[in-house]
Amino acid sequence: MARTLTMRQAINEALDQEMARDQNVILMGEDIAGGQGGDGELDAWGGPLGVTKGLYHKHPGRVLDTPLSESAFIGAAIGAAACGMRPVAELMFLDFMGVCFDQIFNQAAKFKYMFGGKAQTPIVIRAMVGAGFRAAAQHSQMLTPLFTHIPGLKVVCPSNAYDAKGLLIQSIRDNDPVIFCEHKNLYDSQADVPAESYAIPFGEANVVRDGGDCTIVAYGLMVGRAMEAAKQLSPKGPKGGVECEVIDLRTLSPIDWDTVIDSVERTGRLVCVDEANPRCSIASDVSAMVAQECFKALKGPIRMVTAPHTPVPFSPVLEDLYIPSAAAIAAAVTKTMAQ
């Protein structure tokens, strides 16, 4: 039975259902319940944006508020995962990886390989990503490329509530470490979400719009912007004349090369959209792969639409400029179509 849920509710429901299914699933993070040790209400926050609200009382003893101590608790979650637990650790903002990155990329990511296949680390690290929240340079980054670069990690970034639930359930059941990126500007976005539990497999991109003229590859918040651009450019739209195929990558590692390549083989044109900074980004990664694999099919230059090579600015007027817009995506499509 599908209901309309926000992405926040969908994530909460995924956690709730997996905790009910498997006693080894535990949640850890700063203020994921909130109110610990104070005189007021417990589960006062349910996470800084209320995503985990209610789980503390539903699953006694399994929602662990942590000290502000990312190295220790992310590391402890990884250690517990190596010992048979399935921790879901909330890093709050992915930007905070700076203080615990060693535990993620030198420990969790490498155990399996470095120990000759004899270890597994089924941990999920949930974190908020993305700009638009007026949270400035240290709370707004799209750091997905950094994690995607590292063998041993899986990287997920849903664009809607339905995917968020299914991908999070898959992340929890997955036996590898998963970085689960939640765009803070999507928490209130709504979609039809089935009440029952379901998993969306990794490495399967979603073609959210069919079109024969140009492929647009995007993920996270950018999927919506790409759709908006596609609508503007569609023969029925205000700018008229181009049918874009929009691909939502959903998972960045593993990545669904087949869907992307198939699409470009048909359209002959590619626009890669990424909210991350441009250098060594998901956009540049996809562009390079397509250039290598679909060289003959390409009818025009691949174009990338990304954030500029700057930190995320604070002032709303600047931040709005920083985030790739539907207009910028449409302009890129037009530009590649012109050649």
Catalytic residues: 139
Minimum distance between the CB of residue 296 and other proteins, rounded to whole angstroms?
28
Minimum distance between the CB of residue 169 and other proteins, rounded to whole angstroms?
16
Size of residue set near other proteins by CB under 8 A: 44
Of 38, 39, 83, 238, which one interacts with other proteins (CB under 8 A)? 83
Helix or strand run (H / E) with residue 304:
strand 303-306
Helix extents (H) in the chain: 7-21, 55-58, 70-82, 101, 109-114, 144-148, 161-173, 221-233, 257-267, 282-293, 316-322, 326-337
Minimum distance between the CB of residue 143 and other proteins, rounded to whole angstroms?
21
Closest CA to 51 of 5, 101, 1, 104: 5
Check residue 238 for interaction with other proteins (CB under 8 A): no
Q: CA 11, CA 15: separation in Å to the nearest integer?
A: 6
Q: CA 99, CA 146: separation in Å to the nearest integer?
A: 14
Among the residue ranges 46-54, 105-113, 215-223, 331-339, the one whose residues contact other proteins (CB under 8 A): 105-113
Check residue 66 for interaction with other proteins (CB under 8 A): yes
Check residue 116 for interaction with other proteins (CB under 8 A): yes
Check residue 85 for interaction with other proteins (CB under 8 A): yes
Q: Are 315 and 298 in contact (CB under 8 A)?
A: no
Check residue 34 for interaction with other proteins (CB under 8 A): no
DSSP string, 214-279: EEEEE-THHHHHHHHHHHHHSTTSSS-S--EEEEE--EEES--HHHHHHHHHHH--EEEEESS-ST
Residues 195-234 that bind other proteins (CB under 8 A): 203
Minimum distance between the CB of residue 252 and other proteins, rounded to whole angstroms?
13
Of 2, 20, 42, 151, which one interacts with other proteins (CB under 8 A)? 151
> Which residues would be at the binding site for other proteins (CB under 8 A)?
24, 26, 64, 66-67, 69, 71-85, 87, 102-103, 106-107, 111-120, 151-152, 154, 174-176, 203, 254
